Structure 1
Amino acid sequence: MRGPVITGWSAVSPYGIGREAYLEGARTGRATVSRLDPEQWDGPDELACLVPGFTPREVLGKKGTRSMDRVTGLAVATVRELLREERGQDGPYTADENAALVLGTTTGSAQSMMDLTRDTFVNEKPFYIDPSQFPNTVMNCAAGQCAIWYGLKGPNTTVAAGRASGLLALNYARRLLNAGRATTVLCGAAEEYSTARSWLEWHTRRPDESATVLGEGCAVLRLDHPHTTTHTPLAELITVTSTITGPTGTTPSLTQAITTTLHQAGLTPADIYAISPSTPAGTPGDHERHALNTVFHHHTPHRIPAPGPIGDTAAATATFQIITLLTHAHHHPAPPGRIALITAVDRDGVLACALLRLL
């Protein structure tokens, strides 16, 4: 093994809190859509895929959560679950002074930003705001809070790239490890459901995306050096490639990115055991499917279904794709060495793909 290895993961999702809840939900594919309470959620949506009963205070306790917003709570709870599975406790990550965290997001918390902005207009003076709410408006609030709660003293980074955020965060984590900036990286992505997000989606959604049901959640991977890890590797990260939609369109741009990624890794389409597409709604999903059909027209890899039952998790989509792939490998064990391709397409033009060797 030459690349960083994924040695653990956990998630907070509409399936529930923790790895076991996700394993069970992904295995059964059970629906998570629920009807929204209009008294709590006054946006345009009637349906959404929410983490059951989730509030930061209920899940994390009263201490330090009075002003915590939802996306921060999702991230902090997910890191807690990963540390619990590793060490059986919630305390500081004292085993490694160089533990880093990389978190993908769309904008942080749109709800927090809009709430604070509204207060500057409706309060008697623009500066009559609740100062405890201001940190939530900063995009890297969730990542910073994870570091504070669990003593992660290495680099702390937030990556924003829409639905491709999870893969770009993974690439950033890979570079930290390869450069010796960290010895362990907790890497993932988070997305909250909120009234603000539902209105933003409602106003920007194209006609062919009208059936989209929004979801929420956070998934976090643990990445280690292959030669120093004390954990059992689940997969090796071979490479990550990112690009943007060029003048010829999404399909040719993604096709070129996948072809280049395979070539740089010394692989051919026939070497790919499975593919995990992001499957966005509407035209972007059609373009992604056409690109994959172009690359694999002489070969038919196993297709890992996108985590659709938990809704559109936006920035967290790609990381949920990875843990769904790992869940599939958990439920369908086979000889190690199989290679999987993960693709991500964002409607604003960001494209990414990654190669994993399942172990």
Structure 2
Amino acid sequence: MEFKRVVVTGLGALTPIGNTVPEYWNSLINGVSGAAFIKSFDVEKFKTKFACEVKGFDADGFLGRKDARKLDPFVQYALFSTEEAVKDAGLDFEKLDTSRIGVIWGSGIGGLKTFLDEVVNFAKGDGTPKFNPFFIPKMIADIAPGHISIKYGLRGPNFTTVSACASSNNSLIDAFNYLRLGKANMFITGGSEAIINEAGIGGFNAMHALSTRNDDPATASRPFDLDRDGFVAGEGAGTIILEELGHAIKRGAKIYAEMVGGGMSADAYHMTAPHPDGLGASLVMKAALEDAGLTPADIDYVNVHGTSTPIGDPQEVKAIQDAFGEHAYRINISSTKSMTGHLLGAAGAVEAIASILALKNDIIPPTINHFTDDPAFDPKINFTFNTAQKRVVNIAQSNGFGFGGHNASVIFKKYQQ
């Protein structure tokens, strides 16, 4: 069976460093940090008092106050980034077969703020179950693609992928596979997350996963730096319009890039820690390369998972050296989480957008906040520290790894007719 080709025809982003794709990209290549002290709740008693929050997002202005109250922030973010992507792709759904347009969305947690608010309100009462009727439909992780399909009248495949921080990479892979098998013409895909609240920060603090660099939040996310001390929580959404090539050409769509492969694997090791030798991470990169029909020498850039945790970063470097061999010294790698923080279930989509724009613009976004070399890492590896680098980028790979040992990696290349 001959697979159909799949291309990227629209992008949308709501991130801690920009509320549109152009703003996000400009911040990335200029090394802007999105980390600051948390404003959405009182952090006085929390070990970590900062995060990468979305800034200047007006849910009431975007949705109207009545509708905004019916939606958890992770759904609000999804709808916002999707509106940008739909406009960017020039989509007029009245002229398209909406039965062949689907939505596959990723979220690691879903409506955490809604769950927190409802349970706290119940606990403050006398035991009478006075829950908001929107509690369950606001909270469930699958509701974001539901609302996207309702807004645009899309009747193709519709579901959510949940694989922790690999979630939106998995959503991209699922959409890619449906399209290349000819099961649909187009997908709105990506991911969103909104965990910067008392439960999210408190929960990750309890497991010692977050940086506690409260004296200098802007430099707290330090992937591959000797003094990294944990990840910085982020929030937001990324939307990618994936489309079967023939369908895109027929409607005269602009094409950013071609998606050519995706790989998935499991660490089968620990519920939160990655395999110490990076076995699952190496396996997933090799699987993506095989799926795309590529060799390690074909890759120019890897947007790494790179969360800035003491145990996570070394395993990914080991995996890259295993998967790419000597070519590991000829590629650029970078962690854009140094700027956005870790968007959990939305990370894969937001970082895929960074990878696609690196292809389009031939610029590698940097890994900022590097101060001290870690002797555990081979100095010949180009981590793209602190400053963006210009180079021809024909093929880019983007990694996402999640609690539970979930790994997903996607590959994009410059589009050629």
Which of residues 191, 198, 202 is equivalent to 1:199? 202
Quick check: 1:344–1:353 contact (8 Å CA) kept in 2?
yes
Question: Is residue 224 of structure 2 the alignment partner of residue 220 of structure 1?
Answer: no
Tell me the residue number matched to 1:279. 306
Q: Could you tell me how far apart the structure 2 residues matched to 1:169 and 1:87 are?
A: 22
Instruction: Give the TM-score normalised by structure 2.
Output: 0.78
Post-superposition offset of 1:146: 1.8
3-state SS, counterpart of residue 17 of structure 1? coil
Q: Does 1:235 align with 2:257?
A: yes
Q: Counterpart of 1:355?
A: 411
- The range that moved more, 32-41 or 129-138, is 32-41
Pick from 12, 17, 20 the counterpart of residue 18 of structure 1: 20
Aligned to 2:386: none
Tell me if the contact between 2:166 and 2:400 (Cα under 8 Å) persists in the aligned partners.
Answer: yes
1:298 pairs with 2:326: yes
2:276 maps to 1:252 = no
Q: Unaligned 5+ residue runs, structure 1?
A: none
Q: Is the 8 A contact 1:167 1:319 kept in 2?
A: yes
Residues 272 and 340 of structure 1 are in contact (CA less than 8 Å); yes or no, is this contact kept in structure 2?
yes
Alpha-carbon distance in 1 for matches of 2:28, 2:104:
25
Q: 1:148 to 1:40 in 2, by over 3 A?
A: farther
Shift in Å, 1:335: 11
Structure 1 CA distance for aligned equivalents of residues 40 and 351 of structure 2: 31
**AA matched with 1:257:** V
The reply on whether 1:48 has 2:51 as its aligned counterpart is yes
> CA contact under 8 A between 2:101 and 2:154: conserved in structure 1?
yes
Give the conservation status (yes or no) of the 8 Å contact 2:355–2:397: no
TM-score (norm 1): 0.89
CA distance in 2, matches of 1:269, 1:176: 26
Question: Deviation of residue 11 (structure 1)?
Answer: 0.3
- Structure 2 equivalent of residue 164 of structure 1: 166
Cα distance between partner residues in 2 of 1:117 and 1:287: 38
Distance 1:304 1:285, change over 3 A: closer
Contact 1:93 1:152 in 2 (8 A): no
Moved more, 36-45 or 216-225: 36-45
Does residue 1:117 correspond to 2:145, yes or no?
A: no
* One-letter identity of the residue aligned with 1:204: M
Matching of residue 30 in structure 1 with residue 57 in structure 2 = no
Distance 1:177 1:253 in 2: 26
Helix, strand or coil at the partner of 1:297: helix
Distance of 1:84 and 1:121 partners within structure 2 = 43
Equivalent of 2:134, from 128, 132, 135? 132
How many pairs align?
357
2-side partners of 1:135 and 1:144: how far apart? 10
In structure 1, C-alpha distance between the alignment counterparts of 2:310 and 2:71, rounded to whole Å: 34
Alignment RMSD, CA only?
2.7
The Cα of 1:127 is off from its aligned counterpart by: 2.3
Aligned partner of 1:343 in structure 2 is 399
